[in-house]
Amino acid sequence: MNNQRLVILLLLIAYIFSPTLFNWIINPEGAWYRPYIVWILVIAIAFAMQLRRKKYNDLD
Amino acid sequence: MTFDLGQVALIGIGYLLLLFGIAWITERGWIPESVTSHPITYILSLGIFASAWAFYGVIDLAFQYGYGALAYYLGTGALFLFAPVALAPLAELARRHQVHSLADLLVFRYHSHSVGALTTLCMLCGILPLLALQIQAIADTMHILTVSGNPSLPLETGLTFKDIMALCYCAILAFFTISFGANRDQHRGLVTAMAFESLLKVCALCAVGLVSVYGVFDGLDGLDQWLLDHPENLALLHTPIHTDSAHTLLLVFVATAVTMPHIFHLGLAENPLMRNSHTVTWAFPLFLLLMALPIFPILWAGTELSVPLPPQYYSLGVPILFDSPGLTLLAFLGGLSAATGAMVIISLALATMVMNHWLLPSLKLRTRTDLYSQLIWLRRIIIAAIFAGGYVFYWVLDNRFSLAHLAMTAFIETLQFLPGTFAIVFWSKGNKRGLIAGLSVGTSIWALGLLLPILTGIEHLHLPLGNINIPVGIEYWNHVTLISLGLNTFFFVVISLLTRQTDDEQYSAEVCAADELSHPVRQALDVHSASEFKHRLAKPLGKVTASREVDIALQELNLTIDERRPYALRRLRDQIEGNLSSLMGIHVASEIMDKYIPHVTAETQSTVDINLIENRLSQYRDHLTGMAAELNTLRLYHRKTLEELPMAVCSLGRDMEVLMWNRAMASLTQIPTEDVTGSYLEDIPEPWCSLLIDFSQSKEPHFYRREIELNNRPHWISLHKANIEGPITAGVYDQVMLLEDVTETQLLEQELVHSERLASVGRLAAGVAHEIGNPITGIACLAQNLKYDSSDPKEVLETAEQILSQTDRVGRIVQSLVSFSHAGHASKTEFEAVSIRDCANEAIHLLSLQKEKNQVLFCNDIPKTAIIAGDAQRMIQVFINLLSNARDASPEQGRVMLESNEDEDSVTVSVTDEGHGIPPELIERILEPFFTTKEPGEGTGLGLAMVYSIIEDHSGHMDIISPADPVHNRGAQFVITLPRHLDAFMDA
C-alpha cells in the first residue's frame, strides 16, 4: 500500500527526464510515426501486465 | 460543395435524437446488459475526454507545437497508465462516499463549505471557455458546411448567421439534456450514449486520417516521399519541441483526467472499471492512440491540398477538398458528436456542483412537498443557465480566439486544482486554509493573465507600484501556467504547514489517505433501530422522502427494517448519507446527518471498528503488495484458524458489541455469524443473551456447567474468558470467550452415578436377602410345626396360616432380591438363541392365570424372526414384569401391544399400554430399586430395576416413552433394544 510514494517519485523522475526521452523518440533521423511505435509498445506492456495479473489472481 | 441548411439542421437533430434515443432505450433495458456493462463501453465512454478540441483544435496545436501536441494525449494517457495508483484511490473514495464531482470530493476531504463554493466558482470560470470552444466549433463547422461555397470562415463580427445556427443547436441540446439528464438515475443510458459518441468520433477521425494517407498521398510511401520533398514540414514537427512550452504542455494536460469536471463525472464517479480492473491501463491509452494517429497526416494533407481554412478545421477541410460528401458528413458528425458529448456531460457536472455548493446550502427546500421534483426542477434550471452562460461567453469572445487558445485557457485553470487533488490521497497534512489560499492565488493569476485579456482584449497589466507594465494574454500562457501553479502550490504547502487542521478535517484526511486502514474509529450512534432513522429524517426531508431514502438504503445493504445491530446501523447511516449526497451534495447531506443522526462521542476512548477494518481489507486485498500483502495473508490464516477452531469462540468489544462469532459458536447457538456480528450482546436471542452477559460481567474467568434449556432439553455449558488489550489504548480491554458444550459428559456422568447406585443397592440386596432368608426359613418351619402340633387346631391353624402367608410373602421378596442381586452373574457364553415371541407368549400365558387382576388384551405382534442371544428364563421374567406393569396400569379390557423391529444387528421390542402413563418427574426414578407407585403390599419396587439389570446383562438398553400417545396424553411405552442372535440371523 505504501509503495505509492515510490511510484509518485518515479512519475516525478519521468517528468524531469521526459525532455531527454522526448528528444530521443523524436530524433529527426527516424520515421515520423516513431513516437506512436513507442506508444504501442507501452500499451502492449500494460496489456501483458494485466494478463499476468489476471493469471496471478486466478491462481489465488 | 455546400450542404443545404435544412439538410444540416436535419442531420444535427437526427444525430441528437439518435444519441438520446440510445440513452433512452438503454434505460429501458432494450440493449442487452452484456453490451452496456461491457468494459469496452466504459472505455469508450471515457472518450468524452476528447471534445471538439481533440477533433479540430489539436490539428492547430500540432501545427504550432509539432510533436508537442501529443502531450495532450500522453499526459492523460500516462495518468490512465498508472490508474491503479493515481486514479483508483480517488475512484474508490468517490464510490464509497457517493461523490460525483471534484468539488464534492474536495469538500469531503477538507471539510469546508467554502472550499466547495470556491471550487465551483473557479471551475465555472475555467470551464466556460471550454463550453464556448464547443459552441464555436459547432458554429464554424455548420457555417463551413452550409454558407460558404468554398470552405472559409466569415470575417464579419457581431451576431452572424452562424451564431444563430449555434444558438438553435444549443437550445435543442439544452432541451434534450434537461429532459434526459436532470434525473440522476439515468447513468447507464448516459454512459452508453457517450460510448456511442466516442465510437463515432474516433471512426470519423480515423477515416479522415486514412483518406489523408491513402487518398491524398497514395499510401505511407507517398507520404514519406512528400515529407522528403517538403522538409519544412518535418522541421515543423521537431523544432517547437526544443522550447520549454512542450514541457509545460505536458504539465497542463496531465491533470485533465482528474480535474476536468466532465471527465471526473464519467471517469471516476460513474465508472466501475476504474476501481477493479486494469483494463483501463492499456485500453484507454489505445483509444487515445487511435485519436492521435491521424493528426499529422491530416495536417500534412491539409497543407498539400492548400485548404483555405485555419489548420484547426483541416479535419473537415480535407474531406471537402477531397470532394467526398459522405466522408465530409462523417467528419462533420464526428466533430458535432465530440462537441455534443462534452457539452452534455460538462453541463450535467457543473449543474451538480452549482446546485450542491451554491444553491442547496443557501436554499431552504420545502420539505412538505415532493423533494425529488423540487431538486429535478432546480437542476433543470441550472443546466439551462449553464448552456446560456456558455453561449453568452462564446458570443462575447466573438470568434477572436482559436480553439487551441480557448482550450489552453480552460486547461490551465483546471490545473489549479492539481495540488489540492493530489493532497486528497497523498498528503494528509494539507488543509482547507492552504487550499483556499493556493487556489485563490493561482486562479487570480490565471484570471489576470489569461481570462481578462481574452474578455477585454488588454495586452498589459499596469502595476501602480513601481510603474511596471506586465505583458499578459494567451501568448504568455507558458509563463502564466508556471507562475500560477507554482505560487498555488507554494501557498498551499506553506499555509497548510503553518496552520492547524480541525479535528473533523483531520478525520476526513485520514479516511482519504492511502493508508486509511490504520485505525477507522468505531463511533457509536444513539439510534437503536432502522425505523428510528425514518422518524428522525422526516424532519429535514419530509416523511415520504425520508421513508423512501431509508428503504432504498436498506435494500442496497440487504437489511431489514427490524435491524438493530449497531454495526449495521452505522453502515445504514453511511449509506443514507452517501445516497443523500448524490441527491443534494455531500455538504448538505453531511449537515443533515450530523444534525439529526449524529455520532455520539463516547465518554471513553472510542473502540476500533474491527468489522470495518476487516471489510475494507477484504476489499483492498488485490491492492496490497509486499509486506502488507504478507501481513494480510497472515491475518487471513489466523482468522481462518479462529473461524474453523472446533471450539465455540466469540469476542466482545468493550461496549458489548459482538466482534467475532466463529463457526462452532454458530452451530452451538444456532445463530448464524452474519446475523450476530456487530450486534450488541443484549440483542441476541435467549438463553445465550443472559448467559453471556452474566459471564462477561462476572469477575470469574470460568463458569462451570451452567445449565440452560435448549429445545426443551437441558444442556450444560462451560464458559472460559480472557481479556485482550485493545489495539488503540492500553488498559482498555476487549473480551474473548470460549464455550464448551459439556451436555454429553454430564449425561454420561449421571448415568454412571445411577448405575453405581443400582449396583450398590444390588449388593445390599444380596446381603439383606441372605440375612433375612435364614430366619424366615426358621419361622416358616416353626409355623409348620405349630400347624400340626396344636390341640386347638382351629385358632392355631388360623394363626399358622397367617404366619405362613406372611412368610411366604417375605420369601417372595427375598427371592426377587436374590434374583436381582444375581442378575449380573450370568455368563454371556451360556447365551443361546431365544425367540422373543415365544418368551412373550409364555409370559402372557402365566399372567392370564391371575384371574383376580385386570383383564386386558395382550396383542403379540412380534414376528418369529425376532431372535436374540440370551437366557430364555430371564427374558420371560422381563416380559412378566413389563406386561404385569402394563396390565396394572391399563383400564379394564385395555390393550397392551407388543411389537418389534429388526435391523442387521439388533432387535427392538416395544411394549405399549393405554394406561395413564408415567408422570415426567417419575420417569427418572422408576428404575430405582424399591421405587413403586403401587399400593403397599402390591409391588416390591424391584420389578423394573430387575428388568433393567437383565437387559443390561444382555448388552441391550431400555428407553421409556411417556406419554406413548401424545394426542390423548396417555399410555407408556417401554422400548428394549437387544443384540440379535447372529447365527439365527445367518440362517434366516
Tell me, what's the pLDDT at B270?
66
Q: How far apart are CA B714 and CA B396, in angstroms?
A: 88
B659 phi and psi, to 5 degrees? -100, -35
**Residue B620 and residue A1: Cβ atoms within 8 Å?**
yes
DSSP B502: P
- Of B67, B374, B391, B477, nearest in space to B241 by CA: B67
Confidence (pLDDT) at B569: 82
Does residue B199 surpass a pLDDT of 90? Answer: yes
Mean pLDDT (chain B, rounded)? 82
- How distant is the Cα of B605 from the closest Cα of chain A, in angstroms? 28
CA B18 to the chain's CA centroid: 37
- Where residue A60 falls among pLDDT bands split at 50, 70, 90? very low
Q: How far is B67 from chain A (nearest CA, A)?
A: 8
Long-range contacts of B267-270, Cβ-Cβ distance < 8 Å, separation of 24 or more: B267/B46, B267/B49, B267/B87, B267/B91, B268/B87, B268/B90, B268/B91, B268/B94, B269/B91, B269/B94, B269/B99, B269/B100, B269/B101, B270/B45, B270/B187, B270/B190, B270/B191
Render the burial of B788-817: b for 16+ CB within 10 Å, e for the rest.
Answer: eeeeeeeebeeebeebbeebeebbebbebb
Contact criterion met (CB below 8 Å) for B443 and B284: no
pLDDT digit string (tens) for B432-441?
999 999 999 9
pLDDT at B483 > cutoff 90: yes
- Please list the residues that pair with B987 across neighbouring strands: none
d(CA B126, CA B102): 14
- The yes-or-no verdict on residue B328 having pLDDT over 50 is yes
Q: How far apart are CA A4 and CA A44, in angstroms?
A: 23
Buried b (16+ CB within 10 A) or exposed e, B681-701: bebbeeebeebbbebeeeeee
Only one residue has cell 431538486, namely: B375
In this prediction, residue A30 has a pLDDT band, given cuts at 50, 70 and 90, of: confident
- CA of B390, closest CA in chain A: separation in Å? 34
Query: What value, to the nearest 5°, has the Cα angle with vertex B287 and ends B283 and B292?
Result: 140
Cis check: omega of the bond before B687, within 30 degrees of 0? yes
Of B709, B766, B792, which Cα lies nearest the Cα of B743?
B709
For residue B979, what are the CA distances in angstroms to B504, B863, B864, B874, B876? 77, 16, 16, 15, 17
- Report how far residue B956's alpha carbon sits from residue B940's, in angstroms, rounded to the nearest whole number: 24
Residues of B in contact with A2 (CB under 8 A): 514-515, 628
Residues of A in contact with B281 (CB under 8 A): 46, 49-50
Residue B735 grid coordinates? 473480551
What would the grid cell of residue B93 be? 473514495
Any idea how long chain B is? 988
Among the partner residues B77, B237, B426, nearest to A8 by beta-carbon distance: B426
Q: What percentage of chain B has pLDDT greater than the value 70?
A: 89
- pLDDT band at B4; cut points 50, 70, 90: confident
Closest by CA to B265, choosing from B582, B512, B599, is B582
Q: What pLDDT does B389 receive? A: 94
Lowest mean pLDDT among A38-42, B23-27, B619-623, B953-957: B619-623
Q: Is the pLDDT of residue B986 over 70?
A: no
Computed over its alpha carbons, how large is the radius of gyration of chain A? 16
Burial-class residue B287 by CB neighbours within 10 Å (0-12, 13-18, 19+). Answer: buried
The residues with which B734 forms a beta bridge, in sequence order, are B724
With bands split at pLDDT 50, 70 and 90, how would you rate the model's confidence at B689? confident
Given a cut of 90, whether residue B385 has pLDDT beyond it is yes
> Would you put residue B306 in left (φ > 0), alpha (ψ -120 to 50) or beta?
left
Q: Are the beta carbons of B90 and B268 closer than 8 angstroms?
A: yes
Residue A40 domain boundaries: 4-58
User: How far A31 CA sits from the closest chain B CA (Å)?
Assistant: 8
Q: Position B518: which residue type?
A: S
Q: Which three cell numbers stand for residue B779?
A: 419361622
How far off is chain A from B191, nearest CA to CA, in Å? 24
Closest partner residue to B250 (CB to CB) among A7, A18, A36 is A18
Burial of B181 (0-12, 13-18, 19+ CB in 10 A): buried
pLDDT at B264 over 70: yes
* Residue percentage of chain B with pLDDT more than 90: 17
Cα–chain center distance at B285: 32
Nearest CA in chain B to A17: B247
- The residue type found at B644 is E
Beta strands in B427-570 (DSSP E): 460-463, 468-471, 521-522, 524-525
- Closest Cβ–Cβ partner in B82, B238, B515 for A11: B82
3-state secondary structure string across B123-169:
HHHHHHHHHHHHHHHHHHHHHHHHCCCCCCCCCCCCCCHHHHHHHHH
pLDDT given at position B290: 93
Nearest by CB: B624 against A1, A15, A47: A1
Question: Is the separation of the CB atoms in B56 and B403 below 8 Å?
Answer: yes
Q: Which of B174-183, B890-899, B924-933, B962-971 has the highest mean pLDDT?
A: B890-899
State the nearest Cα–Cα gap between A52 and chain B, in angstroms.
11
**Cβ <8 Å between A7 and B85:** yes
Condensed to tens digits (0 to 9), the pLDDT of residues B771-794 reads 777 777 878 787 777 777 666 667
Instruction: Output phi, psi for B427, to 5 deg.
Output: -140, 95
Determine the pLDDT at residue B123: 93
Please give, one letter per residue, the 3-state secondary structure of B519-553: CCEECEECCCCHHHHHHHHHHHHCHHHHHHHHHHH
Which residue has 451576431 as its cell numbers?
B159
Strand-pairing partners, residue B469, are: B462
Outline where B398-431 has alpha helix (H).
403-415, 418-426
- Angle among Cα B15, B339, B414 to the nearest 5 degrees reads 155
**Residue B513 CA from chain centroid, whole number:** 22
Residues from B in contact with A at Cβ < 8 Å: 67, 70, 74, 77-78, 81-82, 85-86, 224, 227, 234-235, 237-238, 241-242, 246-247, 250-251, 278-279, 281-282, 285-286, 289, 292-293, 296, 426, 514-515, 517, 620, 622-626, 628
Instruction: Find the Cα–Cα–Cα–Cα dihedral B678, B680, B685, B689, rounded to 10°.
Output: 130
Residue B936, pLDDT above cutoff 70: no
**Predicted local confidence at residue B518, as pLDDT:** 46
Residues B251, B415: contact at Cβ < 8 Å?
A: yes
CB contact under 8 A, A53 and B278: yes
Going through B903-945 in order, the beta strands assigned E by DSSP cover 906-912
Residue B821 reports pLDDT greater than 80: no
What is the pLDDT confidence band of residue B497, given thresholds at 50, 70 and 90? very high
Over range B711-730, report the average pLDDT: 77
The model's confidence at residue B77, banded by pLDDT at 50, 70 and 90, is confident
B925 phi, psi to nearest 5 deg: -100, -15
Residue B453: pLDDT over 50: yes
Kindly determine whether residue B293 and residue A36, on different chains, have CB atoms separated by under 8 Å: yes
> What pairs with residue B738 in β-bridges?
B649, B720
pLDDT one-digit tens code per residue, B537-577: 888 887 888 888 888 888 888 888 877 777 778 888 888 88
Contact present, B898 and B910 (Cβ < 8 Å): yes
Section B887-908 average pLDDT: 87
Q: Closest chain A residue to B620 measured between Cα atoms?
A: A1
Respond yes or no on whether the N-terminal peptide bond of residue B963 is cis (omega within 30° of 0).
Answer: yes
Q: Alpha-carbon distance B319 to B300, whole Å?
A: 13
Kindly report the backbone phi and psi dihedral angles of residue B399, in degrees, each rounded to the nearest multiple of 5, phi listed first. 65, 20
In A, minimum Cα distance to B221 occurs at: A31
pLDDT at B585: 74
B600 vs B393, more confident: B393
Q: Which residues contact B806 (CB under 8 A, 6 or more apart)?
A: none
Amino acid in the structure at residue B951: I
Is the C-alpha dihedral spanning B421, B424, B425, B427 positive or negative?
positive
Backbone angles phi, psi at B73, to 5 degrees: -85, -40
List B898's β-bridge partners, or say none.
B860, B911
What pLDDT is stored for residue B604 in this prediction?
46
Distance (Å) from the alpha carbon of B332 to chain A's nearest alpha carbon? 26
Residue B832 near residue B983 (C-beta atoms within 8 A): no
Distance CA B854, CA B852 (A): 7
Contact A4 B426 (CB under 8 A): yes
Q: Looking at the predicted structure, is the pLDDT value of residue B724 above 50?
A: yes
Residues of B in contact with A53 (CB under 8 A): 278
What is the maximal distance between C-alpha atoms in chain A? 48
SS3 string of B581-634? HHHHCHHHHHHHHHHHCCEECCCCCCEECHHHHHHHHHHHHHHCCHHHHHHHHH
Question: Looking at the 3D structure of chain A, how many domains does it have?
Answer: 1
Provide the pLDDT confidence category of residue B235 given band limits of 50, 70 and 90.
Answer: confident
